Structure 1
Amino acid sequence: MDWLHAYEDELRLVFEESRKVISAFPEPLNAYGQSYLDQFNVFKLDSHKNYICYLLPFWLQDRCSLSPALTRSMSAGNVFFMLYFFLQDDLMDSRETPADQALPLANLLYVEFLSIYLPLFPADSPFWSYFNRYITEWADSVSGEAGRDYFLNDRIRISHKASPLKLSLTAALLLSGQSPLIAGAEEMLHTVLLTLQMLDDYEDWEEDLRDGNYNCLLSLARTYAGAAGEPLTEAAVKDFIYITGGLAAYAATAEANHLMLEDFPWQLPRLLSFHLVLVKNLQQIAAAIEAEKQLLQAGGLDYWLSRHGNLS
């Protein structure tokens, strides 16, 4: 995993600096902010590992001739912006998130992000037009996913849920005088973000089914079940995953994404390596399910069904 281990020392500095900045927030937002940061700190056990957010500036460093200090600063900016949007996601998805703390903290994080980028780009820089577009893409995506089936009909909007991440990519290309590459680089990142969301949705499908959240895997399962417009049951999803081999089809989409990435004329090798890990994870999960099913088919089907619940 060269896409991670080569940058561990730098990432420690990023999280240490981010924690230092947040610790200076007014009480009690400083404690709340540090606790929230820990939920995504790659060096904390059981944290959510949003690798692409922290690491994208480092993957761009050589290709865009970024100094180590600027690269760390952009990574920290990504951390602040990530937390800003995740707090909003929490407020939209859960009634348990304390709005009286989450909203003020989110605004402080937003200001810290701006404090990094404002000195880099004057007001008339095209960066701010990209900034407006990416925020608009995010808003459109998160507000429409409940009523539109993005995975079947408009997959780019799945990637748009993470559109703000493109800011560090666009910033690096602008700073290095490579603005003609921005459109293609955006498309490349969209492909990675789609596969990343697909893997997350496999891991979260039971929770998303229970909470009524949109989920790529559930979208595909609903199609296989012929349940368009109807509530999807847990039994139908398990039938799709464990009986009909639906996860193999799901993983095939991720593999097709990787083939597209390999054809892009402009490459970020460590972004490609990261994406391959995502694809292999899905393929290995699908293969393990199929292998176990084959082993149990000869006299062991009852055992299989008992392990995976009532699938019929």
Structure 2
Amino acid sequence: MDWLHDYEDELRLVFQESRTIISAFPEPLNAQGLSYLDQFNVFKAGSHKNYICYLLPFWLQDKCGLTIPLTRHMSVGNVFFMLYFFLQDDLMDSNELTAAHALPLANLLYVEFLNIYRPLFPADSPFWSYFGRYISEWADSVSGEASGDYFLRDRLRISHKASPLKLTSTAALLLSDQASLITEAEEMIHNVLLTLQMLDDYEDWEQDLEEGNYNCLLSLARCHGGDDGEPLSKSSVKDFIFTTGGLASYAGTALTNHRTLEAFTLELPHLLSFHQVLVKNLQHMAAAIEAEKQLLQSGGLNYWLTKNMNIL
């Protein structure tokens, strides 16, 4: 089965149900919420595609024996939790978004997530202990990211930026009486989340450099340059990516993550297939750079540098 296309009909229902719930929010929060949902709706052109959030319940369905309605219900819950945490991220990262604008909607989204997951687990269920731990991991990660240089020092904390996603696998395994597999599922998801963040950071490195945000690729570029205390420049990062083969090294880390995933005994083939797509995207970009360099090395190197270093 395909990790995405085989679930398109179900995803349409997930987003339809999410829209129905948000439409019932008080005005103007309903319109604000629908607009925000559309930014992540996989069926909207130009939207951000957070596939793992929507699809992880479906990827766990067979392993955990979940019914289709329950799987869909969990996916809807994930959408609300995703929107809640993305609003937190937006508020922390943006100079334009205000707490007065973001927090009322965020709290409604959070309550809807609880409304979906709370009936599945009684108050004394271990689910709620995992819930608390995942939130703590997220808070620790986002509060220390700027000073911690996680990519070089503690890559697990990069994955912890999306720790609440692990609620999906933990919930599914608890519901199917497979609690002994929770730790292994967590470790698998950590590897996927690291590669996903690495891919996002490659795509966003110029914006992150400009805004001073932490970025895995920029961390590697800074280390390559000797970290002499001087701030990175766009030209030095381009030199790292296009001239010294930095992206090939970066993609190599993602490939190592995939080999680690393949060594786990827990069989989640859709999760592996999704991760392989992420790895191949990085590999293809790195290979394209290296191929053009090879083509231009015989007398064309100056053209290569001009082409890739002209926007400073």
Query: 2:259 maps to which residue?
Result: 259
Question: What do the CA deviations read for 1:47-79 (whole angstroms, capped 9, x no partner)?
Answer: 000000000000001110111111011001010
Alignment of 1:19-168 (within 5 A): 19-168=19-168
**1:310 Cα deviation after fit:** 4.9
After TM superposition, what 4+ stretches of structure 1 lie above 6 angstroms from structure 2? none
TM normalised by structure 2 equals 0.98
How many angstroms apart in 1 are the aligned matches of 2:102 and 2:24?
16
Query: 2:220 maps to which residue?
Result: 220
Question: What do the CA deviations read for 1:166-195 (whole angstroms, capped 9, x no partner)?
Answer: 001100000000000001110010000000
| Identical aligned residues as a percent | 77
Question: What do the CA deviations read for 1:283-302 (whole angstroms, capped 9, x no partner)?
Answer: 00000000011111112122
Residue 4 of structure 2 corresponds to residue 4 of structure 1: yes
Distance 1:311 1:245, change over 3 A: farther
Contact kept in structure 1, 2:239 and 2:309, CA below 8 Å: no
The secondary structure found in structure 1 opposite 2:256 is helix
Query: 1:302 maps to which residue?
Result: 302
Contact kept in structure 2, 1:158 and 1:194, CA below 8 Å: yes
Distance 1:111 1:234, change over 3 A: same
The secondary structure found in structure 2 opposite 1:190 is helix
How many angstroms apart in 2 are the aligned matches of 1:77 and 1:85?
13
How many angstroms apart in 2 are the aligned matches of 1:187 and 1:113?
24
The secondary structure found in structure 2 opposite 1:2 is coil
Query: 2:280 maps to which residue?
Result: 280
The secondary structure found in structure 2 opposite 1:147 is helix
After superposition, the CA RMSD in angstroms is 1.2
How many angstroms apart in 2 are the aligned matches of 1:263 and 1:228?
38
Query: 1:211 maps to which residue?
Result: 211
Contact kept in structure 2, 1:236 and 1:311, CA below 8 Å: no
1:264 partner letter: F
How many angstroms apart in 1 are the aligned matches of 2:298 and 2:23?
60
Contact kept in structure 1, 2:159 and 2:190, CA below 8 Å: yes
How many angstroms apart in 2 are the aligned matches of 1:226 and 1:114?
47
1:125 partner letter: S
The secondary structure found in structure 2 opposite 1:230 is coil
How many angstroms apart in 1 are the aligned matches of 2:245 and 2:118?
50
